[in-house]
Structures are given as C-alpha cells and as structure tokens.
Amino acid sequence: MGRSAAGLPLQPDDLQRDLRRWGRKVGVQPLSVHRLRKTCATLRLANGAPTESVRKLLGHSTDRVLRHYAALSDKQQAELLEQTSPLSHITKRKRR
C-alpha cells in the first residue's frame, strides 16, 4: 500500500474514508473499494476479457460471482440496444 501525508503506512480504513470523501466531492455515492472492484470486473467482462482472467484477478475460487457481474453487463447492453435500435422506435410508435 501507499503512505499517508504523514509518511505512515496507509490502513484500509484510511483508503475507505478517502474514497467516501472523494465520492462526495465529485457526486458519486457511495464510492467504495468494493464498488471500484465490481466496476472493474464488470467493465473487463463487458469488453471481452475472459472470465477466467477476471476471476483470477479478483481472487475468486469460482465463477459464481462473475456470472452476476456478466448478467448486469448483459442487462445494460440490452437496455442500450432497446434505446438505440431503430426498430424499437418504430415499435413504440405503433403502440400509440
């Protein structure tokens, strides 16, 4: 880990406190180590990283948790497709 402004080793609570403070400052709540870790995994999977690689990076013994991240990614992709598909727009017009 890094060092504090006083030159002392950073403790996990120090990092968590700083992340919360930075999150408030930029309007991202709640910002945490867990949230950054989950975001990293989700983005890697969404960009085609092999599941095995992401699993090892996070230190998971199984793919069970990663399937949840991948499911979120699939849901987000489906929503984006729905929002941007010309066919979706035509279908919505017919319903009116």
24 belongs to a structural domain: no
> Which residue(s) pair with 50 in the sheet?
none
Per-residue pLDDT tens digits for 41-55:
888 888 888 889 999
48 belongs to a structural domain: yes
72 belongs to a structural domain: yes
4 belongs to a structural domain: no
Residue 51 domain boundaries: 33-81
Per-residue pLDDT tens digits for 60-91:
888 888 887 777 777 777 887 787 777 765 65
More confident residue, 10 or 49: 49
Where are the alpha helices (H) located in 1-96, listed in sequence order? 12-26, 33-46, 51-58, 64-84, 86-95
The pLDDT assigned to 56 comes to: 92
91 belongs to a structural domain: no
How many domains in the chain?
1
pLDDT at 24 over 60: yes
**For the residues 24-41, what does the mean pLDDT come to?**
85
59 belongs to a structural domain: yes
